[in-house]
Every structure is written in structure tokens, then in C-alpha cells.
Structure 1
Amino acid sequence: MREVKAAELKAMLDAESALVVDVREPDEFAAGHVAGAVNLPLSRFDAAALPQAGEKTLVLHCLGGKRSAMALDRCAAAQAAVDTHLAGGVNAWTAAGFPLVRGA
């Protein structure tokens, strides 16, 4: 499992080298998420349903990092080539001063 810090993810997004998958529930996602993130809630998470990232790194995240780590475990069990998540989740993102987008 690879963890990226908020500043590293921001740099990856600015360079268009990351695709973010938010594994929080739809109401949490609508309340605020990283711009461009795709919502795939852990409650119905299926590694086969992950979006195709092409050359980009797929980065999972949640509120604090626990659910995204659980999703990574599911990816490993499904032999999906996804191993990266945001350390500290949305909490770390906002603590670093980065904005969230509201709405679905």
C-alpha cells in the first residue's frame, strides 16, 4: 500500500497524473470532495467498477484513510493494480488548505 500526502496529490492533480476515487458514501461526497473525484462508495465497492485511469495513478481516499485502506485491501484481493491512497483522506486535504467541491 502506498500513501501520498495531500500536497503530493495536489501536485499530481495539477500535473494531470492522478485520478481520484472517493470511497465515502454519496451524502459525504456531495458535502465536499476533491475536484474531479469519482464516487465509488465502500459500501458497494467493486474493484472491477473502478474507472480506467490510463496513464494516470488511481488514488483512493475517504475521510481519514481507514475506508480507503479497506478498499485497497479489496483491490489486492481482486488483483487490481491499485495500491495508492491519500494519507489522512479529506481531513488531511482540507488541513493542507486545499479546496473541496460541493454537490454531486
Structure 2
Amino acid sequence: MKSENVNGASLETWDVDEVAGALGRHDIVLIDVRSPQEFLIEHIEGALLSPIAFFDPSFLPRDTDRRIVLHCGSGMRSEKAARACLEAGFERIAHLGGGMGAWKSAGQPFVGTDMSTGAPKRMTAG
């Protein structure tokens, strides 16, 4: 994990292994900040959707022991959303470095779209 101090708060960048492990242990709340269309095509199972276009940190839970980790396609939108969280008073927030692209490159499972049926399907990149 890489950490950056931003005005006394901590912006953390987690790698795929850290996110996958924490998600598997149910230690985090994973928030996908991509568009609804991107989420529909593919997403990390268990992730919740809060599109960057309407992202409002005040709707994120603060009364939980589970860390909030944000993610997007490449890590750029999730870092922007994480910085918005810090500006809104979060003391510590994390995002997935490299986003969905890094997740798939690492061979992690995700929910994709079965192009023959249009139905969701558990998949791995490869």
C-alpha cells in the first residue's frame, strides 16, 4: 500500500492483491465510481456503484469498521473521488491503483456480460 498525507488525512493506494484479500475477508466496502454502463458490462463482485458524475462523499458510510476502497477503470476517477472524500472530512480513504484494468490483468475474477445471452456471468480475464 502506498500512502500520501493530504492536509493531515491519509490517501491510500492499494494494489490488486491487497484489495482482493480484504474483499475476500469482508474487511472493506468496495465502491465502483465508473458509469452505470461500465458497471453493467463488467464489475468486481461485491462492489457497490456510485458513479463519479453523481459522487457525493456524504452518502458513504462513516460508522463502520470496514475501510472504504474506491475503484474505477484505471485509478484516475477513483483517486479524484478519494480526494473529494478527504475534502469532505474523511480521515482515511483508499482506492485501487490501476483500477479494473489492473484487476483483470492480475487474473482476478469479475462479473462480466455473457455476450450470447446478455446475462451476467462470473469470469476471469485470460
TM-score (norm 1): 0.91
- What is the identity, as a one-letter code, of the residue corresponding to 1:73? R
Which residue does the alignment assign to 1:17? Answer: 27
Structure 2: tracts of 5 or more residues without a match = 1-10, 113-119, 121-126
**Distance between the aligned counterparts of 1:13 and 1:36, measured in 2?**
8
Tell me the secondary structure at the aligned position of residue 20 of structure 2. helix
Residue 96 of structure 1: which of 81, 87, 106 is its match? 106
Structure 1: tracts of 5 or more residues without a match = none
Q: Which is richer in strand?
A: 2
Runs (4+) of structure 1 moved beyond 2 Å?
A: none
Task: Please say if residues 67 and 93 of structure 2, whose CA atoms lie closer than 8 Å, have aligned partners that are also in contact.
Answer: no
1:83 to 1:52, Cα distance in 2 relative to 1, 3 A: closer
Residue 39 of structure 1: which of 40, 45, 49 is its match? 49
Tell me the secondary structure at the aligned position of residue 60 of structure 1. strand
Task: Please say if residues 12 and 92 of structure 2, whose CA atoms lie closer than 8 Å, have aligned partners that are also in contact.
Answer: no
**Distance between the aligned counterparts of 1:35 and 1:94, measured in 2?**
12
Q: Which is richer in helix?
A: 1
Higher relative contact order (CA 8 A, sep 6+): 1
Larger Rg: 2
TM-score (norm 2): 0.76
**Distance between the aligned counterparts of 1:81 and 1:50, measured in 2?**
13
Note the aligned Cα RMSD (angstroms): 1.4
